Amino acid sequence: MAVAHILGYPSLGERRALKFALEAFWKGDLSTAALQEVGKGLREQHWKKQEQLGFVTIGDFTFYDHVLDHAVMLGAVPERFGLQLPLTEQDYFSLALGSSTQPAMAKAQWFGTASHYIVPELNAETRFSINVHEFLSQLEDAEKLGRPLKPVLLGPVSFLYLSRATGVDKLDLLDNLAEQYALLLRELYYRKVEWLQIDEPIFALDLDDHWLKAFERAYAWFRTTRPKLLLATYFANVARYQGYITYLPFDGIHIDLVHAPQQLAPWLNALPGHWVLSAGIVGGDSAMNNDLQRSFETLRPLVRKLGERLWVAPNCSLRHTPMNQLDTGASGTAAKSWLALADQKLEEVRALTAQLNQEAGTPVCV
């Protein structure tokens, strides 16, 4: 049977709960412990909304920015701030917002969306050293749901590509970085995590051989003692990189069928026999609702061919849209007829998968 999942969920919370908590914390009206409780509560709410899906996605929550979170987790904190690891919450926000002595780290646009990310700062002295206490704590909290979990990470090659390096070729840092990722993957394997989603969004770009070969170097570290790996790509046709991607030690690929529906047929022809195909057919970066019948007709021939190797998902993380109509003020009947935000898109994925499974004569549950 086809499997429903999402690539990520908005951290903001209903009625922008996180925004108001952060503003209170920055003004000194909310304690560190209270802020952490807000974060924990929001994560639990978001996980429960995914209980009817095939997986609950974790590791996507952030207090500010997911790329900054990876930089902190990897120990890549700019020396100019004079901070010591592990960071306090005040230290973390000083990186993103600046301090009394240092300007904030730079921001850049996230692949043509309205979202931005914090640009990691690297140099010749950068030595990555991973600290996964927070990541694993969230994993332990989510395990209490008793549902299959799918952690998500930004991949090492995209992390380097999106960074800013001074006095060093970024790829000179690749092996040290990949080794730290491998330590986390090994720990997740020992914790019985079956699937890990690893996002490499730079496959949406025109990459030269220098960067394509970097994938071979990085993922050579991940050929043993790891969970199954779902490569997540989005915003472009990545079929042109099939020769590189299918050589890498992945167990499935997520492709964007909203921005690049033409890549479905090439991937069906090239998909290795044991790989899953995650079809990103619900628009995660648009507020428009999905044409479920059209999506159903697109995926209908695949469900019997692939069975449980067909996964159904939004094309990208849902963090690019508000959670629901309460957060937009669009409560009129006309708006509701076309508007679909994160909660509605989650339901679209669930309903579409259920319809596909029913058509295939398998149980409706997803």
- Measure Cα distances from 18 to 15, 92, 108 in Å: 9, 16, 22
Contact 140, 40 (CB under 8 A): no
pLDDT exceeds cutoff 60 at 328: no
pLDDT exceeds cutoff 50 at 158: yes
Instruction: Tokens for 74, please give them.
Output: 């990897």
Please state the three-class secondary structure of the chain as a single string.
CCEECCCCCCCCCHHHHHHHHHHHHHCCCCCHHHHHHHHHHHHHHHHHCCCCCCCEEECCCCCCCHHHHHHHHCCCCCHHHCCCCCCCHHHHHHHHHCCCCCCCCCEEECCCCCCEEECCEEECCCCCCCCCHHHHHHHHHHHCCCCCEEEEEECHHHHHHHCEEECCCHHHHHHHHHHHHHHHHHHHHHCCCCEEEEECHHHHCCCCHHHHHHHHHHHHHHCCCCCEEEEECCCCCCHHHHHHHCCCCCCEEEEECCCCHHHHHHHHHHCCCCCEEEEEEECCCCCECCCHHHHHHHHHHHHHHHHHHEEEEECCCHHHCCCCHHHCCCCCHHHHHHECCHHHHHHHHHHHHHHHHHHCCCCCCC
For 54-109, the pLDDT digits (tens) are 999 999 999 999 999 999 999 999 999 999 999 999 999 999 999 999 999 999 99
Contact 282, 315 (CB under 8 A): yes
Average pLDDT value for residue range 30-51: 97
Q: Cα separation of 146 and 50, whole Å? A: 12
For 284-305, the pLDDT digits (tens) are 998 888 899 999 999 999 998 9
39 Cβ contact list (under 8 Å, min separation 6): 18, 61, 63
- Going by pLDDT thresholds of 50, 70 and 90, the confidence category of residue 327 is low
Instruction: Tokens for 249, please give them.
Output: 């030690």
* Mean of all residue pLDDT scores within the chain: 93
Instruction: Tokens for 97, please give them.
Output: 């917002």
What predicted TM-score, i.e. pTM, was given to this entire model?
0.94
Average pLDDT value for residue range 168-181: 98
CB-neighbour burial class of residue 144 (10 A; exposed 0-12, middle 13-18, buried 19+):
exposed
pLDDT exceeds cutoff 90 at 125: yes
Say whether domain 3-18+49-75+126-359 belongs to CATH 3.20.20.210. Answer: yes
- Going by pLDDT thresholds of 50, 70 and 90, the confidence category of residue 324 is low
pLDDT exceeds cutoff 60 at 53: yes
- Exposure string over 280-311, b if 16+ CB within 10 A, otherwise e: bbbbbbbbebbeeeebbebbeebbeebeebbb
For 253-294, the pLDDT digits (tens) are 999 999 999 999 999 999 999 999 999 999 999 888 889 999
